[in-house]
Amino acid sequence: MRIVGSKSGQVWVTSPDGDGWSLAESDALAAALAAGDPGRLLEAAVEARDDDPEAAAVLAPPLRPGKVVAIGLNYLDHVRETGMDAPSSPLVFAKFPSSVIGAGEAIVIDPEVTRRVDWEAELGVVIGRPASRVSVERALDHVFGYTVGNDVSARDVQFGDVQWVRGKSLDTFCPLGPALVTTDEIPDPQALAIATYVNDEKVQDSNTSEMVFGVAELISFCSKSFRLEPGDVLLTGTPWGCGEFMDPKRSLLAGDVVRCEVASIGSLANPVVERPAEPAT
């Protein structure tokens, strides 16, 4: 099942063998997440148009996470490009949920805050059952589905602050989408191609098999420190190809379009704009 976005308190839904799209209330998605049962959402959906809803309007993200948990340095190829050592345990940080936007919405750069904005394509894991101190073997039982994330990063803020939360949580710096795909369509999250394009130039090209810690390990590790709730999103790290580690360094600029893709999920594209200067007072 695919949930492709929300608008006016409703979500667009289709089953894997469905010919068209259905609409369900956002409350029905919350109930399905809490039950860890995607079938509840289909039961609550009503038939809508036959055409693709994304062609009709820019949709909000397929869900609004309770929290966004992110992982740093979790791809072997990214570790190599940074010149750092692979971590011995997952590097966990947070992005504020207020930074979440959907496919087609603009990433807004405020030049008064940052001038080095980077892209990071990531596999997003959506929790469907509460997870507290779960084993690696049972961890994937707590997954509702997967989405594409872009862990947009203000590198000058990130490294200037030492800790990462502010540089990772600026408004619009967490695009999610274009779909939330349930686990029945993705049996193995460690076998997915992942890529990023900036203005149609491929800058990241890897596979989730390159992860240092797989999805199950990450869920188990995090759940031993804090409870993961239905609707939480776990961003699992990015592969090589970030602009900050190119020679010379590259950053996103107004007018760019950044597109992150994960196989079996879709393509998450967002234009980049610059926030206008505030008038003097």
Mind listing the pLDDT tens digit of every residue in the chain (281 residues)?
A: 899 888 878 888 887 666 677 888 889 999 999 888 888 998 888 877 656 665 555 678 989 999 999 999 999 998 888 888 889 999 999 999 999 999 999 999 999 999 999 999 999 999 999 999 999 999 999 999 999 999 999 999 999 998 899 999 999 999 999 999 999 999 999 999 999 999 999 999 999 999 999 999 999 999 999 999 999 999 999 999 999 999 999 999 999 999 999 999 999 999 999 998 776 55
What's the whole-model pTM score? Answer: 0.94
3-state secondary structure of 49: coil
Single out the residue of 254, 251, 234 nearest to residue 242, CA to CA.
251
- Residue ranges matching CATH 3.90.850.10 in the chain: 61-274
Q: Tell me, what's the pLDDT at 279?
A: 67
What whole-number distance in Å separates Cα of residue 230 and Cα of residue 130?
A: 6
CATH for the stretch 61-274: 3.90.850.10
Neighbours of 53 (CB within 10 A): 20
Indicate the burial class of 176 (C-beta count within 10 angstroms; 0-12, 13-18, 19 or more).
buried
Contact present, 32 and 82 (Cβ < 8 Å): no
Contact present, 93 and 41 (Cβ < 8 Å): no
Q: Tell me, what's the pLDDT at 174?
A: 98
